[in-house]
Chain A
């Protein structure tokens, strides 16, 4: 158990809908990262938040947005869903500013199925 929690575990919805994925980082971690993993694909970085502020942006679609709240939990909002958005969505957290040996710890993921 990494200490990172994500809800829900599974989500089934229809095209055109909007969903919200939630992540709570490990205790003490200030940074949250969101990744998308499609079937048999690698981890595609979406976005990073640090202490409530957006820190880095990756291949995140305009239909997707995220935020990090004062209690450091984060939400990823996916709207106007398409079939191709079906994937595993992972949240990871780390301490930042990071020491040399710090890394990212992943949550269990949310499996999204768009029908």
Chain B
């Protein structure tokens, strides 16, 4: 029940926008977004709860479409520091523990 992320990789020039999607075949309670720089720990960005609420973090925001069980991460006016691999982690409704299942990641490269 691993969520599916798309695209697998994307290259942007500074200032361009990008959207990363995370889809699940299971009903989700929440979606958690992380960014990981090469060789470092994943860093928490934001959490989306079922209900379609949109959250923002500076120029990075996300939404959760409960009908589609899909979350999208929006990066606007990208900066070099946005480069890294973005992972979504999903928590299923009815899951007994607080376990997150992660997608395979989307590698984002921002170039000057």
Contact = CB atoms under 8 A, between A and B. Distances in A.
A102 B91 CA distance: 11
Given A100-B30, A101-B47, A45 B97 contact: no
Interface string A24-49: 00000001010100000111010010
B49 A107 contact: no
B31 to A, nearest CB: 10
Interface stretch (A60-68, A76-84, A90-98): A90-98
B102 interface: yes
Nearest to A106: B41
Given A2-B41, A90-B42, A106-B42, A43 B87 contact: yes
Interface residues of A, number: 29
A103 interface: yes
A90 B41 contact: yes
A56 B97 contact: yes
A33 B34 CA distance: 16
A25 to B, nearest CB: 13
Interface of B: 2, 30, 32, 34, 39-44, 47, 49, 87, 89, 96-105
Interface of A: 2, 31, 33, 35, 41-43, 45, 48, 50, 55-56, 58, 88, 90, 94, 96, 98, 100-109, 111
